[in-house]
Amino acid sequence: MAVIEAEHLSKRFGKKVLAVDDVSFSIEPATITGFLGPNGAGKTTTLRMLVDLVRPSGGTIRILGSRYRDLARPTTRVGALLDASGFHPGRSGANALRVVATSAGISYDRVDAALEMVELEGAARRAVKGYSTGMKQRLALAAALLGDPEVLLLDEPANGLDPEGVRWLRTFLRARAAEGRTVLISSHVLAEVEQTVDDILIISRGKLLAHGPINELTRTAQPVVRARAPQAEKLEGLLVAKGAAVNRLGDALAIRGPGSAEVGEIAHAGGLVLHELLTEQPSLEDLFLQIAGTRKES
């Protein structure tokens, strides 16, 4: 059974903004799904709708089989780290978590455990106003983890984390998925997402553009052929004449369209020497730009 199911979800803010437009997806247990899209695409709005903070204008959501507000002790089932949430600046980190724990009926042992997990024990008694950006982000992460939930919704959790923190987060999420937990994570750090997630959802201007396993999606994306040639400009001309899309930087070409064999043959036919020729599996970034980019132009 799917852990999260959204059907024909849409959200309108006022008359002008259609933030989410008829989005349907379902997320299977024990997977990590990357939720990607340009700024203003509707990611935060969708995540907030999943936990009943934003009321959908249309469509339905089931999370763990029911509406979020019908879950008993919801924060022990679903942990959410959301953009634009915050802590009282005058309250200590530990007390901020205790408030969250108390209202959810979670024991204070979990507060200590969560603080330890995000390595914030040292600063726990200090007021939040003295925290750095990364420390606040760690505290928010600790709040999401407090209830030891089986589903994690993370809105740009890597924001402000140092490289060590980002790596920690990646191993942490992988370990959670291995335990059978489900993670939905929005992020702009595509290289990071690429190493962490199983599936991706791509959304742009409120519309869902792609959903599937990352391997399959990157496989279906056009591969990039990279070539280096002393007469790169000439080669570029020949390739473009054959209908390829070419980016040239000095003597290096990035070619979309023809395969590497074809590029080699075209060079040979033109009497041009190649110094390098290879096919690159498109990265998540290439895929993202292809999918979200075409959208923008249309």
Ligand X SMILES: Nc1ncnc2c1ncn2[C@@H]1O[C@H](COP(=O)(O)OP(=O)(O)OP(=O)(O)O)[C@@H](O)[C@H]1O
Residue 41 in the binding site for ligand X (CB under 6 A): yes
Residue 103 in the binding site for other proteins (CB under 8 A): yes
Q: Segment 21-80, which members bind Mg ion (CB under 5 A)?
A: 44
Residue 251 Cα distances to 20, 223, 263, angstroms: 44, 20, 15
Residue 211 in the binding site for other proteins (CB under 8 A): no
Q: Which token pair is 86? A: 């915050």
- The C-alpha atoms of residue 225 and residue 279 are separated, in whole angstroms, by 4
Residue number with CB closer to other proteins (73 or 268): 73
User: Which residue has tokens 């080669």?
Assistant: 235
Residue number with CB closer to other proteins (135 or 143): 143
For residues 152 and 180, the answer to whether their CB atoms sit within 8 Å is no
Residue from 4, 6, 9, 100 in contact with other proteins (CB under 8 A): 100
- The C-alpha atoms of residue 50 and residue 77 are separated, in whole angstroms, by 13
Of 20-28, 43-51, 221-229, 258-266, which part binds other proteins (CB under 8 A)? Answer: 43-51
For residues 232 and 253, the answer to whether their CB atoms sit within 8 Å is yes
- The C-alpha atoms of residue 246 and residue 22 are separated, in whole angstroms, by 35
CB of 19 to ligand X, least distance (A): 3
Q: Segment 164-193, which members bind ligand X (CB under 6 A)?
A: none
Closest C-alpha among 145, 137, 155, 146 to residue 176: 145
CB of 100 to ligand X, least distance (A): 23
**259 contact choice in Mg ion, ligand X, other proteins, none (CB below 5 to 8 Å, kind-dependent):** none
Angle at 218 between CA 175 and CA 223, to 5 degrees: 145
Residue 153 in the binding site for ligand X (CB under 6 A): no
**209 contact choice in Mg ion, other proteins, ligand X, none (CB below 5 to 8 Å, kind-dependent):** none
For residues 135 and 145, the answer to whether their CB atoms sit within 8 Å is no
Give me the residues that bind ligand X (CB under 6 A), please: 13, 17, 19, 37, 39-45
Give me the residues that bind Mg ion (CB under 5 A), please: 44, 83
Give me the residues that bind other proteins (CB under 8 A), please: 13, 44-45, 48, 51-55, 68-69, 74-75, 80, 82, 84-92, 95-96, 98-100, 102-105, 143
